[in-house]
Amino acid sequence: MIDTILKYTFLQHAIIGAILASIICGVIGTIIVEKKLVMMSGGIAHAAFGGVGMGYFLKIEPIIGALIFSIASSFGIVEIKKRSKVNTDTIIGMFWSLGMALGIIFISLTPGYPPDISSYLFGDILTVSKLDLYIMAGLDFIVIFIVIAFYNNIKAYLFDEEFSEVVGINVKLMEHMVFLLIAFSVVVLIRVVGIILVIALLTVPPAISKMFTYNLKKIMMFSILFGVSFSLIGLFISYKIHIASGASIIIVAVSSYIIVSIGTKLLRRIKWIKI
């Protein structure tokens, strides 16, 4: 396997992409789980499909179009939620379907043969290009820098918004910042697991990590390690038996969650019986 990795550039790109995606999903996934923004991330991910279609229509890199739509939809959801009495889930659902609809229209209007969009929907880490890696690395750097610089403020915002306002933290700025980071993370993960499966990779590693610790920093670190493990194991399986890499990664992740969950419950019962 090592000889094959050294020989083929696309495998090297896939491994680097898996590591970069795992870093951002570990950090932002923890924030999403703690703040209960799972549906929000799903809505932004599906809205990003409109940007993919726009990219093909305008003949620009689709992932850049996805980034534009992700940022626009995340800010749009925040602003509409503030100015309207409509339930947040309803707003997310509207952006979710609107993004998918715009993507389909843009692709149908694109001249020539219709492009293959399956890698953006379901992920194909083996097709990650050097440009994709540059974009992913840049977004990773921005996310890590912001989280480190505003860690205490973000932590306060996650656990108690009222307390954050009392101590002088700009909650509105924190909210916009978190939604922006979610948009960045969605774009990074689209090339690895696809729009449809992105929620799982954002939520499974933090969910497993919370079984072992409640420390926010440790949850992020464990989530990154779990994300790297799931991505590399899934990549190896998909390469060996020729199945979709995104689906393979998610199956490994969810299966691991089930195994760890059952294992921890059994250990607790054994300890209780001994006591």
Distance between CA atoms of residues 169 and 174, nearest Å: 8
pLDDT (tens digit per residue) in 166-209: 888 888 888 888 888 888 888 888 877 888 788 888 899 999 99
**pLDDT for residue 91:** 80
**pLDDT for residue 221:** 93
Distance between CA atoms of residues 137 and 144, nearest Å: 11
Fold assignment, 2-274: ABC transporter involved in vitamin B12 uptake, BtuC (1.10.3470)
Q: Where along the chain do its domains lie?
A: 2-274
**pLDDT for residue 254:** 93
pLDDT band at 272 (very low <50, low <70, confident <90, very high): low
Distance between CA atoms of residues 97 and 100, nearest Å: 5
**pLDDT for residue 275:** 47
Task: Enter the DSSP assignment of 127.
Answer: G
pLDDT (tens digit per residue) in 65-93: 988 998 888 888 878 777 776 677 778 88
Polymer length in residues for the chain: 275
Q: How far apart, in Å, are the Cα atoms of 68 and each of 55, 71, 101, 236?
A: 10, 5, 16, 32
Contacts 24+ apart (CB under 8 A), 245-249: 245/14, 245/123, 245/124, 245/125, 245/126, 245/192, 246/122, 246/123, 246/124, 246/125, 246/192, 246/193, 246/194, 246/197, 247/122, 247/123, 247/197, 249/123, 249/125, 249/192, 249/193, 249/197, 249/201
First to last CA, the chain: 47
pLDDT (tens digit per residue) in 49-62: 899 989 888 888 88
